[in-house]
Structure 1
Amino acid sequence: MTDKNVPLKPAATVLLVRDCVKKNDKIEVFMVVRHHQIDFASGALVFPGGKVDEGDMDPMLIDHLPESDRGDDPLRSFKIASIRESFEEANILLARNRETGALVTHDRLEALAEKYRLPLQNGELPIGDMVRAENLELATDLLGHFAHWITPAHMPKRFDTHFFIAKAPPHQLAAHDGEESVDSVWVGPQEVMEDADKGLYTVIFPTRMNVEALSRFSSSEYAVAHAHGTDTFTVLPQMEVTEEGKYLLIPKEAGYSVTRRRIDAIMDK
């Protein structure tokens, strides 16, 4: 039996979005394919993200945030983690030059990636060392709070995951890291769901639900603005056992299309 007291691990993930013109989509999101040797969601198509590191909680980082984000914020470490993870896994850095106030340029990004991306990923360097040495401001103000999911109590590994959304800087080139992720794609939400149904992608349940939620928006600007302007409902799926099988129950207040899903169906997605 699974220990119901499995501790929650704080985690953050980010939906990096941009506008597009496709058959069924007007927005794209950057997603990566997890390495098959990763112990969680191996081989799955996911948003860049991971566990919150101790360095993401460094109080010294407050001085390297926008002035509007320097007050009390229970999500601060999650936001910093999502920025760090997008840099590590997607080669996108939501940060500004503190001298000019401008977002990091492509050339600056490439220089920073060559020097810091791998040490950050390997845990050899906290993100605070990079932002202080390079005089950067982490652009947490660009992140909208998109969703909040907590792994059910019956699972052997549990995460307290906050999903953020931000427009990808148009002058930065997204690319997977080749370590934790082995492939990447800019893809429309409808395209993800259609290809997952065809078996072309493995998409875990929380990811699919948030991909579907993203499909409701007609532009990246609208999607981010909506996240900034609305409250987020915490989703903690509950298990229901019936004669027909086991089901996960999703609160209808969360706003997803699914409120009850058979577990074997979830595992197939």
Structure 2
Amino acid sequence: MSSATPSATSTTRLAATILMLRDGAEGLEVFMVVRHHEIDFAAGALVFPGGKLAAGDEDPRVRLRCTGIAGLAPEQITLRVAAIREAFEECGVLLARARGEQRLLGPARLAVLGPRYRKALDKGDLGIADMLETEDLELACEELVPFAHWITPAFMPKRFDTHFYLAVAPAEQLAVHDGTELVDSLWLRPAHALSQAAAGLHTLVPATELNVKKLGFSNSVGAALRATRAQPVVTVVPEVVKKPQGMRLVIPAEAGYGVTEFALPQAPRKT
């Protein structure tokens, strides 16, 4: 199966998401949020912070305030900008530093920036370049490590071309859900997230579930980053195939998920 086709990308919207990582008492943990049950995509699901690109992410002024982008194509820079912006909007973590400094922003600065900019960015009242210029900040794009790339199957009514990144959670910053699109947030070990979904406590869409599983192959943040950097990202466009057990979604073995097929997700039951 090819990694991507022109038709698979022509009707999709670019999106970016971050798997924010830390080492907990029992091993690797990832930050996840629960989407509001009334929104129009993945309602009620346990997801990683992220979302579709905004017009301001492509503003040429942003690239002048990004570090770690040497050699990247314009689209790859924009995706990283979107991932960082979405994480800030949705959970208050901002992978940025004061211009010319080495350390990422601390809690005192975030306590001012969050109330001032998170909602305005989310509503599109301003672009991220405006915040960066006003506050004299730089986005730390080198903190993002490409982890996965999924394109929604062609039969789905809403389709996204989503790039997943790993990032180490800044130790001094507190991740908290926004209380609007997201109604809860948790630091979870990958195995715990999967067991909660299996028990029906949370919903995981297939891409999220398999990326959680893939992350769980590593026991620490360092191990996850090393494994990710050592393997190329293989684009996944699930294809529907008829099998003896019914219709299945098939993905490339080389994508590294340990499985090559899974059942079609069930439509939510109406209440």
After TM superposition, give the deviation of residue 247 of structure 1 in Å: 0.8
After TM superposition, give the deviation of residue 57 of structure 1 in Å: 1.0
Name the structure 2 match of 1:89. Answer: 90
Q: Deviations over 1:77-111 (max 9, x none)?
A: 11110000100111100001114232101110110
Q: 1:151 to 1:138 in 2, by over 3 A?
A: same
Name the structure 2 match of 1:201. Answer: 202
TM-score norm. by structure 1 comes to 0.92
Name the structure 1 match of 2:81. Answer: 80
Unaligned 5+ segments in structure 2 are: 1-6
Alignment check: 8 A CA contact 2:17 2:50 kept: yes
Alignment check: 8 A CA contact 1:249 1:260 kept: yes
Name the structure 1 match of 2:69. Answer: 69
Counting matched residue pairs gives: 262
After TM superposition, the structure 1 stretch with the greater mean CA deviation from structure 2, 225-234 or 176-185, is 225-234
Amino acid at match of 2:12: L
CA distance in 2 between counterparts of 1:4 and 1:15 reads: 24
After TM superposition, give the deviation of residue 209 of structure 1 in Å: 0.2
Quick check: 1:12 aligned with 2:16? yes
Question: Counterpart of 2:258 in 1: which secondary structure?
Answer: coil
Name the structure 2 match of 1:29. Answer: 30
CA distance in 2 between counterparts of 1:7 and 1:179 reads: 28
Alignment check: 8 A CA contact 2:149 2:236 kept: yes
Question: Counterpart of 2:20 in 1: which secondary structure?
Answer: strand
Question: Counterpart of 1:69 in 2: which secondary structure?
Answer: coil
After TM superposition, give the deviation of residue 242 of structure 1 in Å: 4.3
Q: 1:266 to 1:147 in 2, by over 3 A?
A: farther
CA distance in 2 between counterparts of 1:148 and 1:61 reads: 23
Q: 1:69 to 1:11 in 2, by over 3 A?
A: same
Q: 1:227 to 1:5 in 2, by over 3 A?
A: closer
Alignment of 1:85-234 (within 5 A): 85-234=86-235
TM-score norm. by structure 2 comes to 0.91
Question: Counterpart of 1:75 in 2: which secondary structure?
Answer: helix
Q: Deviations over 1:106-162 (max 9, x none)?
A: 110110001101101111111110011111110100100000000111111110000
CA distance in 1 between counterparts of 2:176 and 2:9 reads: 37
Could you say what the CA RMSD is over the residues aligned between the two structures, in angstroms?
A: 2.0
Among all aligned residue pairs of Structure 1 and Structure 2, give the percentage whose two residues are the same amino acid.
45
Alignment check: 8 A CA contact 2:8 2:237 kept: no
